[in-house]
Structure 1
Amino acid sequence: MLTMSEINCIKFLRNHKSYSINKIAKDLNLNWRTAKKYADESFLPKESPSSKRGMMYGTRWGEMIEDWLQEDAMMKKKQRRTNKKLYETLCTYGFEGSYRTVCQFIKEWRLGRDVENDSRFERLEHPPGEAQVDFGVMEVVKDSHAVDVHCLILSMPYSNRTAAVALPAENQECFLTGLKRLFKEIGGVPQQLRIDNLPAAVAKARTTKEDAIYTDAFQQFVTHYGFQVQSCNPYSGNEKGSVENKVGYVRYNFLVPSPVMNDFESLNRRLASSLRDDMERIHYEKKVRIKDLVVEEKKHLLRLPEEDFPVFKEELLKVNKYGEVTIDQTKILVPSGSRHGQVRAILKWDDMKIISRHGEILY
């Protein structure tokens, strides 16, 4: 191919000097066809799109691999199929390409889904599969008295779905139990979960120089369910504005006037039923039913683990001279506790068990 300076010379001789094709070819020592091509044809710049070629692109083989990779992305790392397993499965359907071809296709597919390179995963855009949680204090009537319960609220900003569970406190056992129930209610695990600096999960709050430090129990919970956690800066409720609004929404729409509560299980069943009916509303911005957005967003949730995560806290307590131990700032009399200097307490969200150092159940 000729350079642009040579092409310009041919054009100049043809158009301004009126040279014939034969003379141009002779003077510039070119083939006649070459001289003819560059003298009389137009050469306009054209885009040269890089179309991917190969047996994995635009064929059923690539579509099959993509479907399998999307299925595996919803599972934990150890449960995903390896490249070799995907290749062997593909061969059972008659694939005749090489293992290297499949590996290259998988590599490009994963690079295209890299969260850090995907502009859709900006915080303000609220990608599907993201959730925010926070506690809100609500009032109910129990035994003819007004009492406070602590509702753990979960908000899915993409679909505007709300889920809530009422609990007796905001300690570690209640918080983790509440998350378990919320995940079960929405039918999956959010890929990202934004939380406030809750003492039940955060041992040291986030600062401008250091990330938050989480409690061991919460980190173990995060590892089991496989989601990513994001903590807010101190006194920055605007960073989780969606769930902040949902605390008031749940309170004024479903718990005012104060409902009568027999027990937490019955209250949570009524609350869950009301919030499911609430999904029939039209999304304030997207102008479609929240229920339809929930169906779409559920495809982006992680699968619930097959093995249940037991939520409890184990503490070593000192028995005072009156045979009492202190749990959550409450003194509890333990029968025959005075005979034991220390006891072990197994605490759950709704019950507890106090055991002696020799394994005897004392309370």
Structure 2
Amino acid sequence: MRRRVLNGEICKRAACREHDMHWKTLERILTFTEPPGYRLSQPRGSKVDPFLPIIKEILESDKKVHRKQRHTAQRIFERLRDEHGYNCGLTIVADAVQRLRQQNKEVFLPLSHPAGEAQVDFGFADVLLNGELTKVALFVMTLPLSDAICIQGFPRECTESFQEGHVRAFEFFGGVPTRISYDNSKVAVGKIVGNREREVTKEFLRLKSHYLYEDHFCLVRRPNEKGHVERLLDFARRSFLVPIPRVESLEELNEELLRCCTKDLRRRLRGKSVPKQELLNEEQQRFLSIPEEQFEAKRLQTVHANSLSLIRFDRNSYSVPIFQSLQDTASASMRSR
């Protein structure tokens, strides 16, 4: 029938008359290549539909509490039954909860990384330093396109180690990336003023002004925006620092880490036809040149001496020399006695 009508052998009216068929039945035959089966003209309502706004409100309030104290489908069913007079089964409540949770679920898309971009992060690892187990801060800079990594160890995460890590990473990569992504560490961010806007610290601004690269800060609690450095940090910790290194100084540790990073450049990634070193050579063409003037990793801070001739800097107190005139007065007083 479909062949005869659609090929123009007979008209629709003749087909209905020949087969004693209703007009709507013929329309369904012509529309569907196979019998569609029974189809509802309107979606069938559920007994849980009047309670959906209550379920949505419960799920929204759960976002503000600890993950381990959020409502389960069983608990929502019990509240609907006891507080709102719901008198049906648990299954349709659980299905409704699952549908609503899937609607609010975040969706992540893979990020593309142009040549010349980098990501920075800090991590921590244990090292046997002079025979004593010591936790060191690991500065890590990675290049997502070539998958190159530079990692260095410092006594702790602070402004000086942050700056020095950049200096060493730029020297290792042979240039300055055009854009670097960061999290919202207090070392770099003084204040969050918007979705992406940041008031950076004075020392970070000095670093960026010297090397002239562009910064990019991730959204708050969105480490997936710099997932490459997060992944390579775990890789370096398991590959370069297992078993726990035994070193005499941090200089010895950092020399070994640089050797590991150089050796890692000979590795070829899955899906790539050339080693990481060749990808880095291509990426270096997009880098900014390192300025001839050496950047000095330091932190400048104005402090005032107290009545005991002590100044406070970086949670430590330091003594300062008093004025020479005060020294002369004190010595004259001693002589007169």
TM over 0.5: yes
1:164 aligned residue (138, 151, 163):
151
Aligned AA for 1:133? V
Corresponding position: 1:252 with 2:244: no
Distance in structure 1 (CA, Å) of the matches to 2:309 and 2:206? 34
Q: Deviations over 1:287-325 (max 9, x none)?
A: 431112111111111111111122222223344555544
Q: 2:124 matched to which residue of 1?
A: 137
Name the SS of the counterpart of 1:316 in structure 2.
Answer: coil
Distance in structure 2 (CA, Å) of the matches to 1:173 and 1:123? 33
Q: Deviations over 1:100-122 (max 9, x none)?
A: xxxxxxxxxxxxxxxxxxxxxx9
Compute the RMSD of aligned alpha carbons.
2.5
Bigger shift: residues 289-298 or 153-162 = 289-298
Structure 2: which 5+ residue stretches go unaligned?
Answer: 1-108, 326-337
Q: Deviations over 1:198-255 (max 9, x none)?
A: 21111113632x5111112212221221111101111110000000111111111111
Q: Deviations over 1:239-290 (max 9, x none)?
A: 0000011111111111122212322222111100111101111113324311
Q: 1:125 matched to which residue of 2?
A: 112
Decide whether aligned partners of structure 1 residues 172 and 328 sit closer, same or farther in structure 2, where only a CA change above 3 A counts: same
Aligned AA for 1:304? I
Distance in structure 2 (CA, Å) of the matches to 1:326 and 1:183? 33
Q: 2:183 matched to which residue of 1?
A: 196
Q: 2:335 matched to which residue of 1?
A: none
**TM-score of the superposition, structure 1-length normalised?**
0.56
**TM-score of the superposition, structure 2-length normalised?**
0.60
1:261 aligned residue (230, 241, 247):
247
Distance in structure 1 (CA, Å) of the matches to 2:149 and 2:300? 32
**Given that residues 207 and 233 in structure 1 are in contact (C-alpha distance below 8 angstroms), is that contact kept between their aligned partners in structure 2?**
no
Distance in structure 2 (CA, Å) of the matches to 1:193 and 1:282? 24
**Given that residues 130 and 249 in structure 2 are in contact (C-alpha distance below 8 angstroms), is that contact kept between their aligned partners in structure 1?**
no
Aligned AA for 1:129? G
Name the SS of the counterpart of 1:298 in structure 2.
Answer: helix
Q: 2:140 matched to which residue of 1?
A: 153
Q: 2:265 matched to which residue of 1?
A: 279
Distance in structure 2 (CA, Å) of the matches to 1:228 and 1:236? 20
Distance in structure 1 (CA, Å) of the matches to 2:132 and 2:323? 35
Aligned AA for 1:147? T
Aligned AA for 1:233? L
**Given that residues 189 and 227 in structure 1 are in contact (C-alpha distance below 8 angstroms), is that contact kept between their aligned partners in structure 2?**
yes
Corresponding position: 1:176 with 2:163: yes
Distance in structure 1 (CA, Å) of the matches to 2:242 and 2:206? 37
Q: Deviations over 1:173-217 (max 9, x none)?
A: 211111011101110000110011121111113632x51111122
Correspondence 1:74-153 to 2 at 5 A: 124-153=111-140
Higher RCO (C-alpha 8 Å, min separation 6) = 2
1:236 aligned residue (219, 222, 228):
222
Task: Please state how far the C-alpha of 1:336 moved relative to its aligned partner.
Answer: 4.7
Decide whether aligned partners of structure 1 residues 338 and 237 sit closer, same or farther in structure 2, where only a CA change above 3 A counts: farther
Name the SS of the counterpart of 2:282 in structure 1.
Answer: helix
**Given that residues 321 and 338 in structure 1 are in contact (C-alpha distance below 8 angstroms), is that contact kept between their aligned partners in structure 2?**
no
